[in-house]
């Protein structure tokens, strides 16, 4: 469960940064917009791992022997993606908050969660418990991002993306070593 919580925190960093970026530009209806942002990101961060998990379950029988390596490789790719994206934070900002924007950003921030869900299929976990943890964690981290958005600097956001990437890579290494030894 602790590993799932760490994965949830790592996946939520994109949501945190984007929620903070979106809330910087909002003065009207701040609380309602913060709720919309947080709910949208929580929904997509739990939907995508579920879809990845379903796809992964179809292939478990065939690649169970290599599951440790596969989980490590997928988390390594996502971790590297987080670190690379840390240097492109400007592309994630959006001036207008409407449902189309929220859905688009929800999907974009949760693509990594799809890959993580695929890797979770190779572990023996309760997927519903994992989805609940990911959803609740994302909601609160996004909400926190909205609350702190006006105080964040570019440098702070970049450092959080790097930390999230490193955490995913370390989790991948932990999974790999647990399968090897």
Q: What is the 3-state secondary structure (H, E, C) of 109-135?
A: HHHHHHHHHHHHCCCCCCHHHHHHHHH
**pLDDT value at residue 94:** 40
**pLDDT value at residue 93:** 45
Q: Could you tell me the pTM of the whole model?
A: 0.68
Residue with tokens 């001036």: 95
pLDDT in single tens digits along all 181 residues of the chain: 788 899 999 889 888 877 877 776 566 778 888 999 999 999 999 999 998 888 776 765 666 677 678 778 877 887 787 788 777 755 544 445 778 888 888 887 787 788 788 878 777 788 899 999 999 999 999 999 988 876 654 456 566 667 767 877 888 888 788 878 7
Q: Do the beta carbons of residue 137 and residue 5 sit within 8 Å?
A: yes
**pLDDT value at residue 136:** 97
**pLDDT value at residue 37:** 92
**pLDDT value at residue 36:** 93
CA 108 to CA 45: how far, in whole Å?
A: 10
**pLDDT value at residue 63:** 62
């Amino acid at each position: 469960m602790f590993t799932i919580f760490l994965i949830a925190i790592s996946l939520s960093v994109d949501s945190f940064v984007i929620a903070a970026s979106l809330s910087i530009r909002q003065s009207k209806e701040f609380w309602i917009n913060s709720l919309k942002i947080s709910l949208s990101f929580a929904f997509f961060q739990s939907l995508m791992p579920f879809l990845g998990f379903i796809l992964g379950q179809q292939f478990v029988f065939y690649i169970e022997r290599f599951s440790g390596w596969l989980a490590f490789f997928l988390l390594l790719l996502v971790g590297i993606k987080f670190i690379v994206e840390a240097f492109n934070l400007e592309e994630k900002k959006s001036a207008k908050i409407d449902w189309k924007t929220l859905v688009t950003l929800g999907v974009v921030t949760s693509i990594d969660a799809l890959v993580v869900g695929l890797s979770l299929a190779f572990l023996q976990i309760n997927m519903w418990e994992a989805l609940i943890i990911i959803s609740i964690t994302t909601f609160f981290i996004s909400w926190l991002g909205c609350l702190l958005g006006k105080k964040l600097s570019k440098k702070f956001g970049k450092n959080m993306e790097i930390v999230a990437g490193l955490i995913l890579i370390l989790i991948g290494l932990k999974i790999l070593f647990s399968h090897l030894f």
